[in-house]
Amino acid sequence: MNNDQDYLQRAVELARINVAEGGRPFGAVLVKDGQVIVEAVNEIHLDQDPTAHAELLTIRRASQHLGSRLDGCVIYASGQPCPMCLAAMYLCGVSRAVYGAANELGEPFGLSTAAIYQQLALPLSEQRLNMQHLPQPAMVEVYENWQARHAAH
């Protein structure tokens, strides 16, 4: 495997296998420098963890080998990454993501996260999830303590 199409076809094959084994139709492959670092499938069906998405699992497992920064890595996903997985990609520095099925394709099957993307595009005060900010002055000291410890390394 040495190109986007090959890696993406592997992610689709992982999704196919996962469906045959009782899981959801999502697979992902994380690649760095032309090497497959890790593959994963959606594992929600195994332990009811709603965050056990294929992309997030590739990030978790790759980080055990490469550290918390995944700069230079590419994630190939069978379906369009949900906002949670996309945010995780940003947080860990994934350089690129390639996906096979867009939300529009998944919509008739109940497999689209477009509604969540729409919610996140709204100001917090307009989102369906009630978010309340209660400022905590003590957090300044906590952040300063973290910064001092982090800068020392």
For 124-144, what is each residue's pLDDT tens digit?
999 999 999 999 999 999 999
pLDDT at position 2: 66
| Model confidence band, residue 92 (pLDDT cutoffs 50, 70, 90) | very high
State the average pLDDT over residues 22-47.
Answer: 97
pLDDT at position 151: 86
- 47-79 residue pLDDT tens: 999 999 999 999 999 999 999 999 999 999 999
Residue type, 130: N
pLDDT at position 152: 65
DSSP code for 82:
P
| Number of domain units in the chain | 1
Q: What is the pTM of this model?
A: 0.92
Q: Which regions of the chain does DSSP assign to beta strands (E)?
A: 27-32, 35-41, 73-79, 96-101
Residue 29: strand, helix, or coil = strand
* In the block, residue with structure tokens 């940003």: 90
* In the block, residue with structure tokens 């994934």: 94
pLDDT at position 153: 61
- Pick the catalytic residue: 39, 55, 107, 126? 55
Burial category of 80 from C-beta neighbours within 10 Å (exposed 0-12, middle 13-18, buried 19 and up): buried
Q: What percent of the chain has pLDDT over 70?
A: 97
Q: 27-32 and 35-41: which strand pairing?
A: antiparallel
CB atoms within 10 A of CB 78: 27
Burial category of 130 from C-beta neighbours within 10 Å (exposed 0-12, middle 13-18, buried 19 and up): exposed
Q: Is 55 a catalytic residue?
A: yes
Domain encompassing residue 71: 2-151
pLDDT at position 99: 98
Which CATH number goes with the domain that contains 119? Answer: 3.40.140.10
Contact 28, 14 (CB under 8 A): yes
Q: What percent of the chain has pLDDT over 90?
A: 96
Residue type, 148: A
